Homo-oligomer: A and B are copies of this chain.
Amino acid sequence: MSTEIELGVTADLHVHLRDGPMMELVTPTVRDGGCSIVYIMPNLSPPITTLDRVVKYKQDLQKLAPKTTFLMSFYLSKDLTPELIREAAKVQAIQGVKCYPAGVTTNSAAGVDPNDFSAFYPVFKAMEECNLILNLHGEKPSTHDCAEGDEIHVLNAESKFLPALEKLHADFPNLKIVLEHCTTKDAIDAVEKINAGITSAADIRVAASITAHHLFLTIDDWAGHPINFCKPVAKLPLDKKALVRAAVSGKPYFFFGSDSAPHPLSAKARHVGVCAGVYTQSHALSYVAEVFEQENKLDQLKPFVSDFGRAFYGLDDANKLIVNHDKCFLVRKNIKVPETIGEGELVVAPFRAGETLKWSTEWRS
């Protein structure tokens, strides 16, 4: 058995680093967790919708982690115009735009109605022309106000969203779209279907990101364990198995995006109104490696956590956005996940707190 594996300049293409003291706590842990390039979600409060704010946010992050490459995004809202999109793309201030359906997760109140994206078609057109990526939180909001059997709830919210994904792809066939943090066999099947017949990775227009925690969790793991509650919620065992198969498949339209989403422990240990999100950043690749090893597919880890995501985002080694070219190595060495990180009022419990993982990560220049 190999005792180390070179993963190259790794990429985690879905990351929440927050702002203020939480940002200061978690931003340095990106590198601890084995990730070199990260794609930053814009759901601050208020959400990031201006050039000034995205530039300032990136500067703040860069100061906290000089060796980490931060790719930035706007929050899709009526504040965005095609002109702003073109301007932001021209100066490479953003690499994409994140779309949140209103009300489905943390700081998504300013999000859009996923039943009708047409108001944003001029923005999508500009994004398509500028080669920006549309990052979809693929859930329909819950509703019981409909015919019996048609209700939408946390368990079918993603499956119910998939026709909207298909329509967007049909209407903007050159727009690059990522179905983020997918959680269902239905989603995997939909992305497979869209990519059927594509023989060159350069032709991929619709991809899916897969988190670390959704490779482990099912509904039983968050029922009674709010630390594992996230949106989209982890689904059924057959869904998890489909995610694992997709992650290790070697198919270039499935790649890693941790959706690491830290909340103070006080926002998780509540009897009502638990915040949605699982914090995985500090041990991101160690978690993923456990699953790949269990599937006897460690040879597919580098493609999943480095090559495929970077290719989809157009991040070859020569790309000027990459600030550091140190390589990440997976090393066979036990690492214990701490019960918490941080101190005082700002304490965060990592995923699988207290457990021992089999693989650590190291950086070599």
Choose from B148, B149, B270, B276 the contact partner of A269 (Cβ within 8 Å): B270
A21 within 8 Å of B (CB atoms) = no
Q: Which residues of B contact A272 (CB under 8 A)?
A: 225-227
Contact residues in B for A20 (Cβ distance below 8 Å): none
Find A271's partner among B154, B220, B233, B349 (CB 8 Å cutoff): B349
CA distance A227 to B271 in the complex (A): 5
Q: Closest CB of chain B to A358's CB: distance in Å? A: 21
Q: Are B271 and A151 in contact (CB under 8 A)?
A: no
Closest to A242 in B: B148
A154 partner residues in chain B, CB cutoff 8 A? 219-220, 223
Given A218-B144, A224-B226, A229-B223: A151 and B236 interface contact (C-beta under 8 Å): yes
A321 interfacial by beta-carbon distance below 8 Å: no
A268 CB within 8 Å of chain B: yes
- Nearest chain B CB to A263 CB, angstrom units: 10
* Complex-state Cα separation, A274 to B238, whole angstroms: 25
Q: Categorize the interface residue count of chain A.
A: 20 to 34
| A259: min CB distance to chain B, Å | 16
Question: In the complex, what residues of B have CB within 8 A of residue A268's CB?
Answer: 271
Q: Which of A241-260 contact B (CB under 8 A)?
A: 241
A275 to B227 CA separation, bound complex (whole angstroms): 14
A23 CB, nearest partner CB in chain B, Å: 21
- Interchain CA distance A270-B273 in the complex, whole Å: 12
Contacts of A224 in B (CB 8 A): 226, 229, 273-276
Question: Which chain B positions have C-beta within 8 A of A275?
Answer: 224
Whether A219 lies near B153 (C-beta < 8 A) is yes
Give complex CA distance A154, B144 in Å: 21
User: Are A148 and B271 interface neighbours, CB within 8 A?
Assistant: no
Nearest CB in chain B to that of A353: its residue: B272
Q: Is the CB of A274 within 8 A of B226?
A: yes
Residue of B nearest to A155 (CB): B219
Within the complex, what minimum Cβ distance (angstroms) separates A302 from chain B? Answer: 27
Contact sample, A vs B, 29 pairs, CB 8 Å cutoff: A142-B220, A148-B241, A149-B238, A151-B236, A153-B219, A153-B220, A153-B237, A154-B220, A155-B155, A155-B219, A155-B236, A222-B223, A223-B229, A223-B233, A224-B226, A224-B273, A224-B274, A224-B275, A224-B276, A225-B271, A225-B273, A226-B270, A226-B271, A226-B272, A226-B274, A227-B271, A268-B271, A269-B271, A271-B349
